[in-house]
Structure 1
Protein backbone atom coordinates (compact mmCIF):
# COMPACT_ATOMS: atom_id res chain seq x y z
CA UNK A 1 0.00 0.00 0.00
CA UNK A 2 1.27 3.44 -0.81
CA UNK A 3 1.62 6.08 1.88
CA UNK A 4 -1.23 8.04 0.25
CA UNK A 5 -3.62 5.05 0.26
CA UNK A 6 -2.63 4.14 3.82
CA UNK A 7 -3.25 7.69 5.03
CA UNK A 8 -6.63 7.82 3.24
CA UNK A 9 -7.70 4.44 4.69
CA UNK A 10 -6.65 5.50 8.20
CA UNK A 11 -8.57 8.77 7.86
CA UNK A 12 -11.72 6.94 6.72
CA UNK A 13 -11.49 4.43 9.55
CA UNK A 14 -10.79 7.13 12.10
CA UNK A 15 -13.64 9.26 10.74
CA UNK A 16 -16.03 6.31 10.81
CA UNK A 17 -14.95 5.46 14.34
CA UNK A 18 -15.51 9.02 15.50
CA UNK A 19 -18.94 9.15 13.92
CA UNK A 20 -20.05 5.84 15.37
CA UNK A 21 -18.72 6.81 18.79
CA UNK A 22 -21.12 9.76 18.97
CA UNK A 23 -24.33 8.98 20.80
CA UNK A 24 -27.35 8.87 18.56
CA UNK A 25 -30.51 10.26 20.14
CA UNK A 26 -33.76 8.92 18.72
CA UNK A 27 -35.98 11.55 17.14
CA UNK A 28 -39.14 12.14 19.15
CA UNK A 29 -42.08 14.33 18.27
CA UNK A 30 -42.96 16.72 21.07
CA UNK A 31 -45.71 15.30 23.25
CA UNK A 32 -49.01 17.14 23.21
CA UNK A 33 -49.20 17.50 26.98
CA UNK A 34 -49.03 21.30 27.35
CA UNK A 35 -52.13 22.94 28.80
CA UNK A 36 -53.14 26.49 27.93
CA UNK A 37 -55.72 28.86 29.39
CA UNK A 38 -57.77 31.49 27.51
CA UNK A 39 -59.29 34.59 29.12
CA UNK A 40 -61.60 36.48 26.73
CA UNK A 41 -64.49 38.84 26.07
CA UNK A 42 -66.88 38.35 23.16
CA UNK A 43 -69.91 40.12 21.74
CA UNK A 44 -72.14 39.24 18.82
CA UNK A 45 -75.51 38.84 17.23
CA UNK A 46 -77.45 36.28 15.26
CA UNK A 47 -80.42 36.28 12.92
CA UNK A 48 -80.06 32.95 11.14
CA UNK A 49 -76.42 33.99 10.50
CA UNK A 50 -74.28 34.11 13.66
CA UNK A 51 -71.38 36.56 14.08
CA UNK A 52 -69.29 37.50 17.11
CA UNK A 53 -65.89 39.07 17.74
CA UNK A 54 -63.70 39.43 20.77
CA UNK A 55 -60.22 39.44 22.19
CA UNK A 56 -58.27 37.80 24.94
CA UNK A 57 -55.02 36.32 26.18
CA UNK A 58 -53.70 32.76 25.99
CA UNK A 59 -51.22 31.60 28.64
CA UNK A 60 -49.62 28.15 28.47
CA UNK A 61 -48.08 26.00 31.17
CA UNK A 62 -44.72 26.14 29.38
CA UNK A 63 -44.53 29.95 29.79
CA UNK A 64 -45.72 30.93 26.30
CA UNK A 65 -48.27 33.75 26.10
CA UNK A 66 -50.07 35.64 23.32
CA UNK A 67 -52.71 38.32 22.84
CA UNK A 68 -55.46 36.85 20.64
CA UNK A 69 -58.40 37.82 18.47
CA UNK A 70 -61.52 35.65 18.51
CA UNK A 71 -64.17 35.40 15.83
CA UNK A 72 -67.26 33.23 15.63
CA UNK A 73 -69.27 32.67 12.46
CA UNK A 74 -71.99 30.19 11.73
CA UNK A 75 -75.65 29.72 11.05
CA UNK A 76 -78.76 27.96 12.12
CA UNK A 77 -82.09 28.75 13.70
CA UNK A 78 -80.87 31.53 15.96
CA UNK A 79 -81.79 35.07 16.94
CA UNK A 80 -80.34 37.44 19.49
CA UNK A 81 -77.66 39.80 20.65
CA UNK A 82 -75.25 38.98 23.46
CA UNK A 83 -72.01 39.83 25.24
CA UNK A 84 -69.76 37.52 27.26
CA UNK A 85 -67.50 39.11 29.86
CA UNK A 86 -64.81 37.26 31.75
CA UNK A 87 -64.98 34.18 29.53
CA UNK A 88 -62.48 31.40 30.12
CA UNK A 89 -61.24 28.45 28.14
CA UNK A 90 -59.02 25.48 28.88
CA UNK A 91 -57.07 24.19 25.90
CA UNK A 92 -55.61 20.69 26.06
CA UNK A 93 -53.62 18.31 23.86
CA UNK A 94 -51.20 20.93 22.47
CA UNK A 95 -47.41 20.88 22.06
CA UNK A 96 -47.12 24.66 22.37
CA UNK A 97 -48.95 27.92 21.78
CA UNK A 98 -48.84 27.56 17.98
CA UNK A 99 -51.24 24.60 18.25
CA UNK A 100 -53.84 26.87 19.87
CA UNK A 101 -54.40 29.02 16.77
CA UNK A 102 -56.94 28.04 14.13
CA UNK A 103 -60.56 27.04 13.64
CA UNK A 104 -62.50 24.98 16.17
CA UNK A 105 -65.75 23.23 15.24
CA UNK A 106 -68.71 24.59 17.17
CA UNK A 107 -72.27 23.38 17.63
CA UNK A 108 -74.64 24.42 20.31
CA UNK A 109 -77.99 25.44 21.63
CA UNK A 110 -78.35 28.86 23.20
CA UNK A 111 -81.05 30.19 25.46
CA UNK A 112 -80.77 33.28 27.59
CA UNK A 113 -82.57 36.48 28.50
CA UNK A 114 -80.74 39.39 30.19
CA UNK A 115 -78.17 37.26 32.04
CA UNK A 116 -76.66 34.70 29.68
CA UNK A 117 -74.22 31.90 30.23
CA UNK A 118 -72.34 29.49 28.04
CA UNK A 119 -70.43 26.25 28.41
CA UNK A 120 -69.12 24.42 25.35
CA UNK A 121 -66.44 21.97 24.33
CA UNK A 122 -64.95 22.62 20.89
CA UNK A 123 -62.42 20.59 18.90
CA UNK A 124 -59.71 21.17 16.33
CA UNK A 125 -58.25 17.79 15.42
CA UNK A 126 -57.00 16.33 18.69
CA UNK A 127 -56.94 19.74 20.43
CA UNK A 128 -59.87 20.45 22.76
CA UNK A 129 -61.15 23.83 23.95
CA UNK A 130 -63.58 23.90 26.89
CA UNK A 131 -65.28 27.33 27.11
CA UNK A 132 -67.23 28.87 29.95
CA UNK A 133 -68.54 32.38 30.44
CA UNK A 134 -71.36 34.63 31.49
CA UNK A 135 -72.70 37.93 30.29
CA UNK A 136 -75.80 39.73 29.15
CA UNK A 137 -78.11 39.56 26.19
CA UNK A 138 -80.94 37.77 24.53
CA UNK A 139 -80.18 34.71 22.46
CA UNK A 140 -82.25 31.74 21.43
CA UNK A 141 -81.64 28.97 18.92
CA UNK A 142 -79.51 26.16 17.60
CA UNK A 143 -76.43 26.79 15.48
CA UNK A 144 -73.26 25.34 14.03
CA UNK A 145 -70.15 27.21 13.02
CA UNK A 146 -66.52 27.84 13.77
CA UNK A 147 -64.70 29.52 16.64
CA UNK A 148 -61.40 30.98 15.43
CA UNK A 149 -58.43 32.00 17.57
CA UNK A 150 -55.70 34.08 15.86
CA UNK A 151 -52.81 36.26 16.98
CA UNK A 152 -53.68 39.87 17.63
Structure 2
Protein backbone atom coordinates (compact mmCIF):
# COMPACT_ATOMS: atom_id res chain seq x y z
CA UNK A 1 0.00 0.00 0.00
CA UNK A 2 1.07 3.53 -0.65
CA UNK A 3 1.50 6.12 2.08
CA UNK A 4 -1.48 7.98 0.66
CA UNK A 5 -3.76 4.89 0.91
CA UNK A 6 -2.56 4.19 4.46
CA UNK A 7 -3.26 7.79 5.47
CA UNK A 8 -6.75 7.66 3.94
CA UNK A 9 -7.50 4.32 5.66
CA UNK A 10 -6.36 5.71 9.03
CA UNK A 11 -8.53 8.81 8.57
CA UNK A 12 -11.59 6.69 7.74
CA UNK A 13 -11.04 4.51 10.82
CA UNK A 14 -10.78 7.61 13.03
CA UNK A 15 -14.05 8.98 11.60
CA UNK A 16 -15.80 5.64 12.09
CA UNK A 17 -14.59 5.51 15.70
CA UNK A 18 -15.88 9.04 16.29
CA UNK A 19 -19.30 8.16 14.87
CA UNK A 20 -19.56 5.13 17.15
CA UNK A 21 -19.39 7.43 20.19
CA UNK A 22 -22.43 9.49 19.10
CA UNK A 23 -25.85 8.71 20.64
CA UNK A 24 -28.13 6.50 18.62
CA UNK A 25 -31.00 8.09 16.65
CA UNK A 26 -33.74 6.07 18.40
CA UNK A 27 -32.82 7.70 21.72
CA UNK A 28 -33.35 11.13 20.18
CA UNK A 29 -36.64 10.06 18.60
CA UNK A 30 -37.88 8.75 21.95
CA UNK A 31 -37.32 12.19 23.49
CA UNK A 32 -39.67 13.74 20.89
CA UNK A 33 -42.49 11.59 22.27
CA UNK A 34 -42.72 13.50 25.55
CA UNK A 35 -46.28 14.46 26.54
CA UNK A 36 -47.19 17.61 28.45
CA UNK A 37 -50.51 18.48 30.11
CA UNK A 38 -52.12 21.93 30.18
CA UNK A 39 -54.70 23.11 32.72
CA UNK A 40 -56.14 26.54 31.93
CA UNK A 41 -58.88 29.15 32.30
CA UNK A 42 -59.81 31.47 29.45
CA UNK A 43 -62.26 34.33 28.84
CA UNK A 44 -63.00 36.16 25.62
CA UNK A 45 -65.35 37.66 23.10
CA UNK A 46 -65.88 37.74 19.36
CA UNK A 47 -67.62 40.01 16.90
CA UNK A 48 -66.01 39.10 13.57
CA UNK A 49 -62.69 39.42 15.43
CA UNK A 50 -62.00 36.83 18.15
CA UNK A 51 -59.97 37.63 21.29
CA UNK A 52 -59.45 35.69 24.52
CA UNK A 53 -56.89 35.70 27.30
CA UNK A 54 -56.16 33.29 30.08
CA UNK A 55 -53.59 31.54 32.22
CA UNK A 56 -52.67 28.04 33.23
CA UNK A 57 -50.02 25.50 34.10
CA UNK A 58 -48.11 23.07 31.91
CA UNK A 59 -46.71 19.88 33.49
CA UNK A 60 -44.68 17.43 31.40
CA UNK A 61 -44.25 13.70 32.02
CA UNK A 62 -40.52 14.29 32.67
CA UNK A 63 -41.33 16.60 35.63
CA UNK A 64 -40.83 19.96 33.91
CA UNK A 65 -43.52 22.51 34.75
CA UNK A 66 -44.31 26.16 34.02
CA UNK A 67 -46.98 28.77 34.67
CA UNK A 68 -48.23 30.02 31.29
CA UNK A 69 -50.23 32.82 29.69
CA UNK A 70 -52.64 32.09 26.86
CA UNK A 71 -53.73 34.48 24.13
CA UNK A 72 -56.23 33.64 21.37
CA UNK A 73 -56.80 35.92 18.36
CA UNK A 74 -58.47 35.36 15.04
CA UNK A 75 -61.29 36.24 12.75
CA UNK A 76 -64.26 34.80 10.97
CA UNK A 77 -68.01 34.75 11.16
CA UNK A 78 -68.32 34.66 14.95
CA UNK A 79 -70.25 36.47 17.65
CA UNK A 80 -70.34 35.92 21.39
CA UNK A 81 -68.81 36.16 24.82
CA UNK A 82 -67.55 33.14 26.73
CA UNK A 83 -65.48 31.80 29.61
CA UNK A 84 -63.80 28.42 29.98
CA UNK A 85 -62.86 27.24 33.47
CA UNK A 86 -60.84 24.12 34.23
CA UNK A 87 -59.89 23.57 30.60
CA UNK A 88 -57.42 20.82 29.79
CA UNK A 89 -54.99 20.13 26.99
CA UNK A 90 -52.57 17.42 25.95
CA UNK A 91 -49.46 18.50 24.08
CA UNK A 92 -47.69 15.74 22.17
CA UNK A 93 -44.54 15.28 20.07
CA UNK A 94 -42.30 17.52 22.21
CA UNK A 95 -38.72 17.02 23.41
CA UNK A 96 -38.90 19.44 26.36
CA UNK A 97 -41.23 22.02 27.85
CA UNK A 98 -39.60 24.63 25.58
CA UNK A 99 -41.37 23.03 22.58
CA UNK A 100 -44.73 23.89 24.19
CA UNK A 101 -44.32 27.67 23.86
CA UNK A 102 -45.34 29.51 20.70
CA UNK A 103 -48.20 29.89 18.25
CA UNK A 104 -50.59 27.11 17.33
CA UNK A 105 -52.89 27.26 14.29
CA UNK A 106 -56.56 27.08 15.23
CA UNK A 107 -59.73 26.50 13.25
CA UNK A 108 -63.06 25.68 14.80
CA UNK A 109 -66.80 25.85 14.88
CA UNK A 110 -68.48 27.05 18.03
CA UNK A 111 -72.06 26.80 19.20
CA UNK A 112 -73.45 27.25 22.68
CA UNK A 113 -75.91 29.11 24.86
CA UNK A 114 -75.56 29.45 28.66
CA UNK A 115 -73.33 26.36 29.04
CA UNK A 116 -70.61 26.61 26.43
CA UNK A 117 -68.21 23.86 25.37
CA UNK A 118 -65.03 23.73 23.38
CA UNK A 119 -62.89 21.02 21.83
CA UNK A 120 -60.05 21.82 19.42
CA UNK A 121 -56.95 20.21 17.99
CA UNK A 122 -54.22 22.71 17.17
CA UNK A 123 -50.81 22.30 15.57
CA UNK A 124 -47.40 23.96 15.66
CA UNK A 125 -45.16 22.13 13.22
CA UNK A 126 -45.12 18.51 14.42
CA UNK A 127 -46.35 19.47 17.90
CA UNK A 128 -50.07 18.90 18.54
CA UNK A 129 -52.30 20.42 21.22
CA UNK A 130 -55.70 18.84 21.93
CA UNK A 131 -57.91 21.13 24.03
CA UNK A 132 -61.13 20.47 25.91
CA UNK A 133 -63.10 22.68 28.23
CA UNK A 134 -66.51 23.77 29.41
CA UNK A 135 -67.78 27.05 30.71
CA UNK A 136 -70.48 29.66 30.29
CA UNK A 137 -71.39 32.08 27.58
CA UNK A 138 -73.00 32.55 24.23
CA UNK A 139 -71.05 31.94 21.10
CA UNK A 140 -71.93 31.07 17.54
CA UNK A 141 -69.87 30.91 14.37
CA UNK A 142 -66.83 29.65 12.54
CA UNK A 143 -63.37 31.09 13.14
CA UNK A 144 -59.73 30.67 12.22
CA UNK A 145 -57.00 32.00 14.42
CA UNK A 146 -53.94 31.63 16.58
CA UNK A 147 -53.62 30.10 20.06
CA UNK A 148 -50.41 31.33 21.76
CA UNK A 149 -48.75 29.91 24.89
CA UNK A 150 -46.07 32.07 26.56
CA UNK A 151 -44.24 32.26 29.92
Q: Which category describes the TM-score, using the shorter chain as reference length? A: 0.7 to 0.9
> Which one has the bigger helix percentage?
2
Paired residues, what number?
132
What is the deviation of 1:25?
A: 1.9
Q: Look up the match of 1:62.
A: 62
Runs (5+) with no aligned partner, structure 2: 1-15
Change (3 A) 1:32 1:137: same
Distance 1:57 1:80 in 2: 26
1:23 to partner: Cα distance: 9.2
Partner of residue 113, structure 2: 113
| Structure (1 or 2) with the larger CA radius of gyration | 1
Are the structure 2 counterparts of residues 24 and 121 from structure 1 closer, same or farther at C-alpha, using a change threshold of 3 Å?
same
TM-score (norm 2): 0.83
| Cα separation, 2, equivalents of 1:53 and 1:23 | 48
Residues 18-76 of structure 1 show CA distances to partners (whole Å, capped at 9, x for unaligned) of xx999952145463111000000000000000000000000000110000000000000
Which of 15, 26, 36 lines up with 2:22 in the alignment?
26
CA RMSD of aligned residues (A): 1.7
Structure 2 Cα separation of the partners of residues 126 and 90 of structure 1:
14
Structure 1 unaligned blocks of 5 or more: 1-19
